[in-house]
Structure 1
Amino acid sequence: MSLAQEVQSRVKDALKSGARDQAASLRVLLSELQRMAKEARRELSQEEEVQVLKREKKKHQEAVEGFKAGGRQQAVEKEEWMIGIIDELLPQQLDEAALAGLIDQVITETGASSPKEMGKVMSALMDRAGTQVDGRLASRLVKERLTA
């Protein structure tokens, strides 16, 4: 089942249970997935769907920061709920220890030894683990290992 189908199913469930606010929030997510598929003029791959969800999660995280600064607690709770839903839909991310082990393996395989070769390591890492890797965390860990 694609992520778009999963979101569609959750919209239906929310409507059946009478949770109109939740259904509306999920519809926004679904419409973004559908818009991207329409732009691509094909069904999105799993990786592309994950990228859309990650973008949406980032938007909601930025909104949380803004709402906290403005003292709008109810809006913060709604955005955090949406972040939780997106997290449920996203593939399980590697934890820091597992990611560090994988990075060490990739560095050994690529023979990288300086920060100049970070791109080569990141490319190989993303090819191997793809959607299971948080790019920011991976970048930080690779940089630490190549500068050490």
Structure 2
Amino acid sequence: MISNTIDQEIKKAMLAKDQAALRGLRAIKAALLLAKTEKGSAEEITEETEAKILQKLVKQRKESSDIYKTQGREDLSIIEEEEIEVISQFLPKQLNQAEIESIVAQIIKDSGATSVKEMGKVIGLANKELAGKADGKLIAEIVKTQLA
């Protein structure tokens, strides 16, 4: 479980006075605690759920960083980038585009999908298979390209 590791990493970051690491680690801890205490959630969070939460945190920070860059606020963009780096350490290794394309091609072949009309079904299967290993937006683009 990531939460035990996070607590230890927070202690290390505090001792090292590493503010960037502390911000990222505290964001992870807060998101995991929130997920644990949500109404109707299971007692323990699965590793798959943890990966989804971390991906969401990275995505939020990328979007914020992009907004800051367009507004000319490099100082704030750098903070977001530092947090992305810290959070990404706890994510499973991300697949490259070629790996994703081959997996999606196999999913299309296995499911028997032949047209863009079946895109939703294929994206659902691909997201399930590639959970935590690839960005959902990239998966959707690849599926659309391969079915077109």
Instruction: Tell which deviates more after alignment, 54-63 or 109-118.
Output: 54-63
Match for residue 81 of structure 1? 82
Contact 2:92 2:132 (C-alpha < 8 Å) held by counterparts = yes
Match for residue 8 of structure 2? 9
The aligned amino acid for 1:18 is K
Counterpart-to-counterpart distance in 1, 2:20 and 2:133: 30
Which consecutive unaligned segments of at least 5 residues does structure 1 have? none
Match for residue 28 of structure 2? 29
Contact 2:23 2:83 (C-alpha < 8 Å) held by counterparts = no
Shift of 1:59: 1.7
Shift of 1:51: 1.4
Runs of 4+ in 1 over 6 A off after TM superposition: none
Identity across the alignment (%): 28
Match for residue 131 of structure 1? 132
Match for residue 58 of structure 1? 59
Larger RCO (CA under 8 A, 6+ residues apart): 2
Shift of 1:101: 0.8
Instruction: Tell which deviates more after alignment, 44-53 or 121-130.
Output: 121-130
Aligned length: 146
Match for residue 141 of structure 2? 140
CA 1:121/1:23 → structure 2, altered by over 3 Å: closer, same or farther? same
Shift of 1:97: 0.6
Match for residue 42 of structure 1? 43
Shift of 1:38: 1.2
Shift of 1:73: 2.3
Contact 2:123 2:140 (C-alpha < 8 Å) held by counterparts = yes
What's the TM-score once normalised by structure 2's chain length? 0.87
Residues 90-129 of structure 1 mapped to structure 2, 5 A cutoff:
90-129=91-130
Higher helix share: 1
Instruction: Tell which deviates more after alignment, 40-49 or 16-25.
Output: 16-25
Cα RMSD, aligned residues only: 1.7
